[in-house]
Amino acid sequence: MIRIEGLRFRYGEGDFQLRIPELIVEPGTTTAFIGPSGSGKTTLLNLIAGIIRPETGRVETRNVEVSALSDPERRRFRVTTLGLVFQEFELLEYLSVLDNILLPYRIHAALDLDATVRERAGALAERVGISDKLDRPPRRLSQGERQRVAVCRAVLTDPPLLLTDEPTGNLDPLNRERVLDILFDYVRESGTTLVSVTHDHEILPRFGRVVDFRNFHSFGERAAS
Amino acid sequence: MRDTLYLAWRYLAFHRVKTAILVGAITLIVFLPVGLRVIVNQSSRQLTARAEATPLVIGAKGSPTELTLNTLYFSSDVPARTTYAAASEVADTDLAQAIPMYVRFRVRDQPIVGTTLEYFGFRGLKLAEGRQMAVLGEAVLGSRAAEQLGVGPGDHIVSSPESVFDIAGVYPLRMPVVGVLEFTDSADDDAVFVDVKTAWVIEGLGHGHQDLSQPEAAAGVLRREGNVVVGNASVMQFNEITPDNIDSFHFHGDLSDFPLTAVVVVPPDQRSSALLQGRYQTAELSQVVSPTEVMDELLGTILTVEKFVIAGAVTVGLATLATAFLVFALSLRLRRRERETLFKIGGSRAAVATVMTSEIVAVLAVGVLLALLLTFLTQRYGDVIIRSLIR
Amino acid sequence: MMAKTKTAAVALAFAAAACSGSAPDSEVDAGSDAQVAAEVDAVAEADALVVFTTNYPLAYFAERIGGERVRVEFPAPPGIDPAYWTPAADVISAYQGADLILLNGAGYEGWVSKTSLPESKLVNTSSGFEELYVVAEDAVVHTHGPEGEHEHENVAFTTWLDPQLAIEHARAIRDVLAERLPGSEAELQAGFEALEADLTELDGRLEAWAAGLSGQPLLASHPVYRYLARRYELNLKSVHFEPDEAPPAGAWRDLAALMQGHSADWMLWEGPPLDETSARLAGDFGVGSVVFAPTGNRPASGDYLDAMRVNVEALEALPAS
């Protein structure tokens, strides 16, 4: 699903540099990226998504060399192939729950919002237990509910790759488990590849593979297996 | 694109108050100078047209503006009175047609215009309903006056007292409405036209009562001195002229001394006009006024004031516009995270740009549209507004 | 006296000539001439000046002077006295539509001051001799309150009864018609002169009759003959008797008092008096009744001149005392 080769990325003039000689993520797997903050986990996620581009090296996601695409191509790639879940949920405050879920279909011509999509959105909402709150604005939801909405949004397009950045970072333990259950159930059913950045060692057992980023920052170059 | 616009719409709806205030500000910024210009333009055209249609006005010495506004627009500022003799004088010169005007009284908000039949021919007024006034006391209404008072031919109207404490002075006269004129889009629409003699009856210069020389009227007699019968205060003065009492209606004194507010003078050519004006140059008690000149002066003043007001409005407008753009800029800054999210989950440049900037576009567009709508309405109803301000 | 008779004779001759001259051309050759004449008539009708008057004498004068150039209307109902007429609103509207409105003046048409008529079309046909109006001294005047007196002068208004003044009325009519019908001066003048001759003839006859009275006292049932009285220096005093009502007792007493210093043999009436009244006048007072109709309105038959001639003949028929 993901292949990274000879990657080098530096944020501007700073000291920090991310170097990944090689990293492969097989389709259908669940992978956790852990490491201390500032070690480049989110950066890698962004590189995989094509949100940023490396100095050198190749990032190939689902056989597409994302690092070589133009900005419009990368946007299109993201909206059709990826699902993203963020630590701070990143819902639009002025949209209802339903409109938040449907958001990807309204921001790119490549996606067509039709009845099937709406049905799927309804089904997803039901599945995560928020179908009675479809008309509400995010501010009237609890933290857990908001993240569940974000998950629905992320998987609405049925993406082959789901990238989550500290998805449970802002949740209490109960909601954390709930959201993780939703994610892993979904992933298991649909065969979606899941890559999660996380701080939380307690959730690591759920993942099939753990990549420790201490190996990847400027001082280390050993590839994980 | 439709879907993206949906998002923009939801943003505006969520921030209703902010949107409304911004739209309002834009509307005002655009409308104030434009609307003002439209009104002034229209009013000057209209005022000029009416003034040009009225060649000369003769009245008592005083403010030419007051005389002109009262005669052409029936304003409630009543100039010093001249007399009916002034009209006869002009008629006798054979230099021009003289139309007496007595514009002093009102029926509620509508001015009562006491004049003669010649006025209708002069202004080209045509009847839409009913007939022309024939008998003392009858009134013919302009189309808007009829609407405002809610009357038509066959109904009655009553003149309004000039002041609350008028007991022995001007008393209300109940008048039958016999005709309503066609709409002319001029001050004539608001007028209640009566014969100038009827206006004198309202003033109290003419009245009807029992014939004091008859035996039945003995109760009203104060004393008799030879041929002279003096009535006492109990003689009831009619406040309505009906077929039954019209025979008793009469005027005391010489009609030449009776008051007018103006005489509209219509000379057939320039030469007659010049001759007439020459005669009144040295008149002590009268003045002859050219409404066109008065209006030009008035409009000159208005235009100067307008320039200042527009300058002020534009300055404030620019400041407000700058503030509005500041609000837009801040708004964009506030939505930075939203923009990033949209970018991250794969929104196209066009879609993201649309969502972010449609707030500005929509506010500007709606604001300008509303301003245009208001301008259109001003154009449509400007005349009425101006005339009601003059009255 | 001789001059006056000669004038009368000349007037008669003129009148005769005028009468024959003004015979209507109703005897028109048949065929195309009739057609042309009809067309001319139609055109004349269309261009005719529409003239309204406030009494019958003026209407008659206008017709005589204007002929085909005018269409004269006097819309008062028959039998009423136009001096006390209040036309209805629709009649007033008809007046408003006239090209010209001829007024008698001297306060005759009281209704005009209480109506709206187009100033430019009103012509006072006696404004040329205002100084000759007869002021009625015994009129009752009223004032209001202690402020003081305002009189209104009561002026007699049956001006046409003096044929000289009638001619002045006619002259004024001719002048205003000439103004309004440019190019017709000759026709108007011809009409005027014919009328003038007729009126002058009447004047002559009345003068002769008055001369024969030599100051003999006369009575009038109503003060409507002031102009007649002044013109012919008649010793005439008036009462207030109505022709169609029995005078009340007080009126008879006034008459008795009046006749103390004024022993008249004849009373002039506007119309035929009631038999009882004339009988009592003759029986109790020795006063005979003679009708002199002022003809303010259209007579039942004939025209103004016919009526006036009947009046004059009635006077001439009175036996000299």
Q: Does residue B19 sit in the same domain as residue B81?
A: no
Q: Does residue C96 or residue B248 have the better pLDDT?
A: C96
A182 located within any domain: yes
C139 located within any domain: no
Q: Does residue B107 sit in the same domain as residue B150?
A: yes
Q: Does residue B261 sit in the same domain as residue B182?
A: yes
* Cβ within 8 Å, pair B355-A84: no
Angle at the Cα of B125 (from B121 to B126), degrees rounded to 5? Answer: 110
pLDDT value, residue B234: 53
The domain that holds A74 is classified in CATH as: 3.40.50.300
Q: Does residue C116 sit in the same domain as residue C228?
A: no
How many structural domains compose chain B?
2
Determine the structural domain holding residue B102 and report its residue range: 56-208+249-289
Largest CA distance in chain C: 78
Which helix H or strand E contains A211, and what residues bound it? strand A209-212
Shortest CB distance from C145 goes to which of B91, B197, B233? B233
Q: Does residue C57 sit in the same domain as residue C110?
A: yes
Find the residue in C nearest to B117 (Cα).
C118
Which chains does B contact via 3+ CB–CB distances below 8 A? A, C
pLDDT value, residue B69: 92
The domain that holds C300 is classified in CATH as: 3.40.50.1980
A104 located within any domain: no
A107 located within any domain: no
- Residues A127-138 have pLDDT tens digits of 888 889 999 999
B244 band by pLDDT with thresholds 50, 70 and 90: confident
Q: Does residue C320 or residue B103 have the better pLDDT?
A: B103
CA B350 to chain A, closest CA, distance in angstroms equals 8
Chain C meets chain B (3+ C-beta pairs below 8 A)? yes
Q: Does residue B13 sit in the same domain as residue B101?
A: no
**CB half-sphere exposure, A182, CA atoms < 13 A:** 27
Shortest CB distance from C93 goes to which of B132, B246, B251? B132
Identify all chain B residues contacting C120, using CB atoms and an 8 Å cutoff. 97, 118
Is the pLDDT at C14 greater than 60? The verdict is no
pLDDT value, residue C26: 44
C36 band by pLDDT with thresholds 50, 70 and 90: low
Is the pLDDT at C152 greater than 60? The verdict is no
Those residues of chain B whose CB sits closer than 8 Å to some CB in chain A are: 3-4, 6-7, 10-11, 13-15, 337-338, 341-349, 351-352, 355
Cα separation, C236 vs C256, in Å, equals: 15
C113 band by pLDDT with thresholds 50, 70 and 90: confident
A185 located within any domain: yes
A222 band by pLDDT with thresholds 50, 70 and 90: very low
pLDDT value, residue B221: 57
Q: Which residues of B291-318 are buried (b: 16+ CB within 10 A; e: fewer)?
A: bbebbeebbeebeeebeeebeebeeebe
How many structural domains compose chain C?
2
Angle at the Cα of C115 (from C112 to C120), degrees rounded to 5? Answer: 75
Please state the pTM of the whole predicted model. Answer: 0.67
- Residues A64-75 have pLDDT tens digits of 888 888 999 999
Strand-strand pairing, B174-181 and B56-60: unpaired
A67 located within any domain: yes
Which chains does A contact via 3+ CB–CB distances below 8 A? B
Cα separation, A102 vs A153, in Å, equals: 6
A162 located within any domain: yes
B294 located within any domain: no
pLDDT value, residue B210: 47
C141 located within any domain: no
Q: Does residue B310 sit in the same domain as residue B275?
A: no
- Residues B349-365 have pLDDT tens digits of 999 999 988 888 989 99
What's chain A's average pLDDT?
86
Is the pLDDT at A119 greater than 90? The verdict is yes
Token pair, residue C30, equals 């048949």
Q: Does residue B278 sit in the same domain as residue B370?
A: no
CA B336 to chain A, closest CA, distance in angstroms equals 11
Find the residue in C nearest to B195 (Cα).
C116
Q: Does residue B273 sit in the same domain as residue B352?
A: no
pLDDT value, residue B203: 86
C28 located within any domain: no
Q: Does residue C170 sit in the same domain as residue C301?
A: no
Identify all chain B residues contacting A153, using CB atoms and an 8 Å cutoff. 345
How many structural domains compose chain A?
1
Determine the structural domain holding residue C8 and report its residue range: 2-18+41-134+154-205
Q: Does residue B356 sit in the same domain as residue B284?
A: no
A18 located within any domain: yes
Residue with tokens 């301008």: B375
* Cβ within 8 Å, pair B14-A94: yes
Q: Which range has highest mean pLDDT (B221-235, B350-364, C163-177)?
A: C163-177
